[in-house]
Amino acid sequence: MNMPFVNELTTALDTDQIADLRSNVRGQVILPEDAEYESARLAWNLAVNQHPALIVIAADADDIAAALRFAALVDLDVTVQATGHGVARPATDCLLLITSELKGVQIDATARTAWVEAGVKWGAVLNAAQAVGLAPLLGSSPGVGAIGYTLGGGMGWLARKYGLAADSVLRFEVVLANGEKVSTSPTENADLFWALGGGGGAFAVVTGMEIKLYPVQTVYGGTLIYPAAAAREVLQFFREWSRYLPNEWTTSVAIMNLPPLPELPPFLSGQSVVMVNACYAGETRIGQMMAQAWMDWQAPLVNGFHEMPFSEVGTISNDPQDPMPGTSSGAWMNDLSDDAIETILRFALPAGGPPTLVKTEVRQAGGAMAITDTYERAYSHRQAPFVLQMVGVSPTPEAVEAVMSHARQFKAALGSHLTGGTYMNFLEGEEKYTSTRQSFEGDKAELLKGIKAKYDPLNRFNRALNLLPDSNGPFNKRPR
């Protein structure tokens, strides 16, 4: 239970200004003393504990503009939240701008595009697109926000075939920190469009995006489950199997320490297992032939590979849908050598006590993600062959620190098997913020700082990434 919170900033906010804001928005303006505050300040990730000075639940793009003009007037920082799956620094002492009510999705089946508003979760785009035989480039969970995911890059089960979600954006409509609405595309405000393509949510509030859709109705894949005792051999076999796969396959291997849950069968409840997750976006018969290598090598405990409508792609990872407290860390990998595998086994499997991590997943990268030119978008590290993600359940601040400490040791032990780069979508909390530089390669962080200085000169959106507007200043200080 959190203690009631008295926010000094809120008490300083002028009641007339708040009344003006309330009369200027169709959505809700919520202050700490309001009954709705305790539920409105929650993120999907229940480990996030944030106490905004005020909350605006926008009903439309005009509300977003009004909220940003208000923030400028009273000099408040702004944090944007669609679902709260990917919070960096919590929205404390600032304006929390919630976009979840902007739920519009429009499909143009002829042009194979979709218009997606700021509060839309991927599941809604998936359903609307599948109804006309098309597919968006969603990630493992249909519950994740489409725009937050895309701003970070967006690597899903079609990534090696069709690339990142960020590579399939045709246009972003945004509201700038000063409340001005602008359009961004390769021909309009192209620098901002470049930054939003994997550069994160620190530049403007995206009110909607136009994205490409792809003709995918059926895929082959799912999950193979092997016993933890075979983890070493499964990771080694995964490395060899995935090495020559065509881009129709997007794959991963995950060591899971499953919690004891009544809904799980006894052989999984409270057990450690290795899962091979995969999606083949091609002819099922061919996919089956290529997957047969696993069955010939060693029969899994469960063979969950099957043909499925793409609308069921969320069942491959089966991510939690209900809010939960979690901590995630990750890093790009140079290789999945035997030495890297030994380190993964050491840190991913429980060592005599309760496991620190629920999931340690190595996703295969490359394919269509890697053929796009490095400087086409802000998104970085396209050439790394694998990306590692570690996830722990963390209901208390101590548990968050325990997971992060374990993740830090894990990454240190992997040493040169890591590239040194991070994928911002797989980071959460303070690490997402402090790893800003590692999320971008070459001089991209400097380029992003310049773009931020142009579009958000007062660093209003300063909780998502550490990008100072002053390109000559120290990287870790605010400008005011």
**How many residues at the interface with ligand FAD, by CB under 6 A?**
32
Q: Which of 54, 55, 135, 155 binds ligand FAD (CB under 6 A)?
A: 155
CA dihedral 423, 428, 429, 431 (to 10 degrees): -30
| CA 150, chain centre distance (Å) | 8
User: Using the rule CB under 6 A, is 140 a contact of ligand FAD?
Assistant: yes
How many Å apart are CA 43 and CA 218, to the nearest integer? 33
- The one-letter amino acid code at 183 reads S
CB atoms closer than 10 angstroms to residue 313: 27
Instruction: Answer yes or no whether residue 84 interacts with ligand FAD by CB under 6 A.
Output: yes
Cα–Cα distances in angstroms (integers) from residue 96 to residues 36, 51, 87, 179, 456, in the given order: 14, 9, 12, 15, 17
Decide: is 201 part of the binding site for ligand FAD (CB under 6 A).
Answer: yes
| Tokens representing residue 202 in the block | 């620190």
Would you say 206 or 237 has its CB closer to ligand FAD? Answer: 206
By DSSP bridging, strand 54-57 and strand 95-98 are parallel
Which one among 85, 161, 449, 452 touches ligand FAD, defined by CB under 6 A? 85
The first and second tokens of residue 338, run together, are 């035997």
Among 57, 206, 358, 418, binds ligand FAD (CB under 6 A): 206
For ligand FAD, the closer of residues 120 and 273 by Cβ is 120
Query: Is residue 366 a contact residue for ligand FAD (CB under 6 A)?
Result: no
Residue pair 288/294 in contact (Cβ under 8 Å)? The answer is: no
Q: Does 145 bind ligand FAD (CB under 6 A)?
A: yes
Torsion angle of C-alpha atoms 102, 115, 379, 440, degrees rounded to 10: -20
Q: Does 27 bind ligand FAD (CB under 6 A)?
A: no
Span of 150-158, 232-240, 375-383, 446-454 interacting with ligand FAD by CB under 6 A: 150-158
Residue among 135, 141, 127, 132 at smallest CA distance from 44: 141
Task: Provide, rounded to whole angstroms, the least separation between the CB of residue 223 and ligand FAD.
Answer: 15
Least distance between ligand FAD and beta carbon 338 (Å):
27
Residue 84 or 221 with smaller CB distance to ligand FAD: 84
What is the crossing angle of helices 231-243 and 338-348, to 10°? 140
**Could you say whether residue 154 binds ligand FAD (CB under 6 A)?**
yes
- Is the Cβ of residue 143 or residue 355 nearer to ligand FAD in the bound state? 143
Distance in Å, CB of 340 to ligand FAD, minimum: 22
89 binds ligand FAD, rule: CB under 6 A:
no
| Closest C-alpha among 459, 394, 455, 376 to residue 167 | 376
Half-sphere exposure of 61 (CA within 13 A, CB side): 19
Cβ count near 93 (within 10 Å): 15
Q: Nearer to ligand FAD by C-beta: 203 or 238?
A: 203
CB of 80 to ligand FAD, least distance (A): 4
Q: Is 144 in the site for ligand FAD (CB under 6 A)?
A: yes
Question: If binding is defined by CB under 6 A, does position 86 make contact with ligand FAD?
Answer: yes
Of 37, 70, 115, 149, the residue at the interface with ligand FAD (CB under 6 A) is 149
80 near ligand FAD (CB under 6 A): yes
Q: Report if residue 247 touches ligand FAD, rule: CB under 6 A.
A: no
- Is position 83 an interface residue for ligand FAD (rule: CB under 6 A)? yes
Q: Which is nearer to ligand FAD, 208 or 287 (CB)?
A: 208
Task: Tell me the C-alpha distance between 238 and 378, whole Å.
Answer: 30
Q: C-alpha dihedral over 368, 370, 371, 376, to 10 degrees?
A: 110
Is residue 184 near ligand FAD by the rule CB under 6 A? no
Closest CA to 365 of 168, 153, 222: 153
Q: Which is nearer to ligand FAD, 204 or 237 (CB)?
A: 204
- Residue written as token pair 């993964």: 344
The minimum distance between CB 364 and ligand FAD, in angstroms, equals 13
Q: Is 205 in the site for ligand FAD (CB under 6 A)?
A: yes
- Nearer to ligand FAD by C-beta: 145 or 163? 145
Cα 68 to Cα 203: distance, rounded to the nearest angstrom = 13
Strand order in the sheet with 169-175: 105-108, 113-117, 205-212, 169-175, 181-184
Residue span binding ligand FAD (CB under 6 A) among the ranges 31-39, 83-91, 233-241, 370-378: 83-91
Q: Give the x/- contact pattern for ligand FAD in 288-327, rule: CB under 6 A.
A: -------------------------------x--------
Tell which residue, 429, 448, 426, has the closest CA to residue 437: 448
Task: Calculate the dihedral angle through the C-alpha atoms of 149, 84, 117, 154, rounding to the nearest 10 degrees.
Answer: 0
Which of 136, 156, 198, 469 is the binder for ligand FAD (CB under 6 A)? 156
The footprint of ligand FAD (CB under 6 A) covers: 80-88, 99, 118, 139-141, 144-145, 147-149, 151-156, 200-201, 205-206, 319, 425, 464
